Chain A
């Protein structure tokens, strides 16, 4: 067995301990001293991991959210659901592999899954533009969601995208139009909708499948109006200030909860979802089961009213009650 390299600079100390542990474990002669060292090192690794992950900076969180081993939609589909029947195509232009859609079973619940997919291999990644969907992806999502509502299937949206694809074809085929229409339609779709940000919640590209009765986020995911690099590029004219931009944007799960953007934060296994995809998937499954049971017990009209009210409340502004004085 090989020790996987550190994902990030801030994981370097964990990696060093893991290498040490590996050395002890490989020793042919397990003397009581070696056994002791193994036990001690394991504890140290756990403590250190906990300590590091409890104090991630926003920029480090972004890196975790983008980790190459972080579970994607395809992983949740196989680990958390009992069955997945993929449905392709937008019946209009094509089949965008940056958004996957299909029937899925979750114990007794039958649902429609809609999720961004970033791909794992280079070939997959380039086929789906690293999880950046084109208009046909959003149109496919909407088509399947409409069908789900028709047949009374709740919808589960898994959000994980750097953003909607910025390209010539995407503009020609109405990127702005499809994102607007999806929010518009999702706000009144007569079936329960649960959205979970599983990795990156990149701006309009995320929101295009992000309107629902519950919006949850995994602990080390982020959801932002602009990427930290994009923000840094605008303000400081350089991507190198991404870490500063990440601080300013307040987009980590705890900020989002405070700002009333997400309803729930789903905890990740120690050291992030990428360290234990199985455990992560089972937490996601538990969350979905609990939430589906809740939502299915409310009449649909109540759900739609609550869905409207939930987004209606978002925003922070001042409201003068006095006669008002126009900008001085």
Chain B
């Protein structure tokens, strides 16, 4: 058996690690897991925002027991019969088993402080939160439902993967599909609040995540188009400190507010009160 802190550090990339203790990548402190959980998975020492699964996010943001899932019956297919070292279908199965999700987005409706909303969230643990046909279709249907029912729309993005490579060009086209639905939603006067979490990259950043009327970001989230490794490899230089963080985006004028997880729910409710119907 390995030391729990060690294991925790190793598994950090994919979320709050199992075990009693976890090591914070923000301040390197060893934090009691329960304490972090009580603070919505935020480090008590440095306010580092740990990963939150789609399911936890629903619990954190929506009023208790109000979430009703839509389009849960959609499932990923394998149109390209994509296979590298392991076939895509097998990888899908193991991701489904590991996360309890059947794809990277969960959508539906619920209440935020008694305000009804259309709500979507992507989980960066499922294929890095990448967008394939199911994610694109669920989000598009969500936007269309929000349009038909005149609901404020909230989408919380977490995606290190952008468009999902394993579904090829079909994944890329989901960017256009969701964006077109959002344009129609906007024409009817709908309010869309986009919340960026760590990480929001590639084709997800370059589509629905950037199209909010109001864009919030959690502190110190990695947000951008090209991955830092790609940029580093292309330019062969060190990247400036804080590059592609929420704070960097705020400074360059691409997000409206940095919102801590603790305040997220009330900030969303307040924005709905300003703009919603």
Contacts and interface: CB of A to CB of B under 8 A. Distances in A.
The answer to whether A and B belong to the same complex is yes
Interface of A: 164, 166-168, 170-177, 179-181, 183-185, 187-188, 203-204, 207, 210-211, 223-226, 230-231, 234-236, 248-251, 256, 259, 261, 307-308, 311-312, 314-322, 324, 326-328
Contact of B171 (A173, A225, A230, A322): A225
Contact of B170 (A184, A226, A231, A261): A261
B9 interface: no
B165 A315 contact: no
Contacts of B72: 324, 326
A185 B203 CA distance: 17
Contact of A176 (B75, B164, B184, B210): B210
Closest 7 CB pairs of A and B: A166-B226, A187-B180, A315-B133, A176-B205, A316-B79, A175-B225, A176-B225
Interface string B181-193: 1111001000000
Contacts of B176: 183, 187, 207, 210-211, 311, 314
B29 interface: no
A234 B14 CA distance: 18
Contacts of A188: 180, 183-184, 187
A207 B175 contact: yes
A167 B231 contact: yes
9 contacts: A168-B239, A176-B205, A177-B210, A183-B176, A204-B225, A248-B83, A259-B169, A317-B77, A324-B72
A249 B165 CA distance: 8
Interface of B: 72-77, 79-80, 82-85, 96-97, 100-102, 133-134, 136-137, 140, 162-165, 167-177, 179-184, 187, 202-203, 205-211, 223-227, 230-231, 234-235, 239-240, 243-244, 248, 252-254
Contacts of B244: 171
Nearest to A244: B84
Contact of A180 (B82, B167, B206, B240): B206
Given A315-B136, A316-B133, A183 B179 contact: yes
A241 B252 CA distance: 38
A261 B168 CA distance: 11
A275 to B, nearest CB: 27
A317 B75 contact: yes
Contact of B169 (A175, A250, A317): A250
Contact of B177 (A181, A256, A315, A316): A315
B207 to A, nearest CB: 5
Given A176-B205, A316-B77, A319-B73, A308 B180 contact: yes
Contacts of B172: 203-204, 207, 224-225
A307 B183 CA distance: 13
B226 A184 contact: no
A315 B137 contact: yes
A313 B202 CA distance: 22
Contacts of A261: 169-170, 173
Contacts of B253: 174
Contact of B80 (A210, A248, A320): A248
Contact of A314 (B74, B164, B173, B235): B173
Nearest to A163: B226
B22 to A, nearest CB: 26
B173 A311 contact: yes
Residue of B171, B184, B225 with most chain A CB atoms under a 10 A cut-off: B225
A204 B76 CA distance: 22
Given A167-B231, A249-B168, A261-B169, 20 more contacts: A166-B227, A171-B231, A174-B252, A175-B226, A179-B206, A180-B206, A180-B211, A184-B211, A203-B163, A203-B203, A204-B163, A204-B172, A235-B85, A250-B169, A307-B180, A308-B184, A311-B176, A314-B136, A317-B134, A318-B75
A217 to B, nearest CB: 11
Nearest to A249: B168
Contacts of A173: 252
Contacts of A167: 226, 231, 234-235
Nearest to B251: A172
A211 B133 CA distance: 18
B188 to A, nearest CB: 12
Nearest to A226: B165
B224 to A, nearest CB: 5
